[in-house]
A and B are shown apart, each in its own frame.
Chain A
Amino acid sequence: MNQLEISGFLGAASFLAGFLGALSGLGGGVVIVPLLVLAFGVDIHYAMGASLVSVIATSSGAAAAYVREGISNIRIGMFLEIATTIGAIVGALLASSSPTRLLAVVFGIVLLYSAGMSVRRRKPAATDGPPDRIARMLRLDGAMPVDGDWIPYRTRRVPLGFGLMFGAGTLSGLLGIGSGAVKVLAMDEAMQIPFKVSTTTSNFMIGVTAAASAGIFLSRGYIQPGLAMPVTLGVLAGSILGARFLTRAKVKTIRIIFAIVIASLGVEMIYNAFSGRLS
């Protein structure tokens, strides 16, 4: 294929990924790497580079909207970014010494996990109970708008959340993804923050986390502008359009369909790693 054809096909496919990612709330970034590797035969390191750049674009774009609505907790985000950015550097350094097969298997597992997370039932967060000592020291408790009122919430198990966030950052740098599914897990399950807050705060953090590994990706030559250009512009345009349709679409159905797509990509990544098609 020549560069014009590659740009056209990749741009269109990335647009679709961004559109479905925004509609389903799962983010398009997680499907970019398998899409490039499996459908276009792109080397996994280049695919990770292009994916990481698109993740920064969609995260910053979406975070702009959330910050203005005042749902994300900037203190929680900033504190946990210490863990995610250090993790991201560790992950990016590990990526260059990891063989393609290993990266593909880890990626497959993360895809399966993300698919499972996206269809799970969410339980409401606790709003009462004793305050957490560390959360109080760091002033992580907050309030969120519900029907025009400000409802306070508490943050718990800060060290566990911090540790999980380090893991989320490492995966982000290792695979060139936002790893929003792990971030939301750390905040929802471990720290018990209301999911509206955890989802938006996670989105807020993804860009900063990705920027930490982007410097290393760039200097190692993972970011090929010829690939990153159509992917980033496609995903960004798709996600902006997807966010506009969000209020009118049947989100649940789309979520399930997209989860199935993600899961099958995960199986295919693992299968290809073991069958030796990726090396």
Chain B
Amino acid sequence: MQVLSRNDSAIDKRIGILLRVGVLLSAAVIALGGLIYLSQSGTAIVSYHHFVGAPDGLRFVPQIVREALRGNGLAVIQFGILLLIATPVARVVFSVIAFALERDWLYVAISCIVLAVLIYSLIGHAA
């Protein structure tokens, strides 16, 4: 019962802070990318009516990071979105540690399964 009981407010508080910092940091990066993008090509006519898919440079982590470092506004937005996706993943990593500190091996295993599924989803399709 320890994780949800009143004894563990310290862990709960840290998870709460982690989530908040993650969301605010990603929002700031997305906003920064938005400013770069709109200041460079705000008057460009764009259409999202038909699906062609985001360009390859905006689909995979290494390309996104490389383009973002070059100052490509869209890639900076996409990098902020990656940070946002990483926030709940970090929460699961944190839970693995928290359960391990409590020597709750059943829930260490359960959290690891969730983590494995998340990692599969994030890198299993990079080909």
Contacts from A to B (Cβ < 8 Å):
1-4, 6-7, 40-43, 45-46, 53, 56-57, 59-61, 63-65, 67-68, 70, 72-75, 78-79, 81-82, 85-86, 88-89, 92, 138-139, 141-143, 150, 207-208, 210-216, 218-230, 232-233, 236
* Chain B residues whose C-beta falls within 8 Å of the C-beta of A214 in the assembled complex: 85, 121-122
Closest-by-CB residue of B relative to A169 is B117
Question: Which residues 52-95 of B sit at the A interface, judged by CB distance below 8 A?
Answer: 52-55, 58-60, 74-75, 77-78, 81-82, 84-89, 91-92, 95
CB atoms of A53 and B114 under 8 A apart:
no
* Chain A residues whose C-beta falls within 8 Å of the C-beta of B120 in the assembled complex: 89
CB atoms of B117 and A229 under 8 A apart:
no
CB atoms of B107 and A208 under 8 A apart:
no
- Give bound CA distance, A64 to B38, whole Å: 31
Contacts from B to A (Cβ < 8 Å):
1, 3-6, 9, 12-13, 15-17, 19-20, 22-23, 26-27, 30-31, 33-34, 37-38, 41-46, 48-55, 58-60, 74-75, 77-78, 81-82, 84-89, 91-92, 95, 106-107, 110-111, 113-114, 117-118, 120-126
* Chain B residues whose C-beta falls within 8 Å of the C-beta of A6 in the assembled complex: 46, 48
What's the dominant secondary structure at chain B's contact region?
helix
- Give bound CA distance, A210 to B81, whole Å: 12
Closest-by-CB residue of B relative to A220 is B53
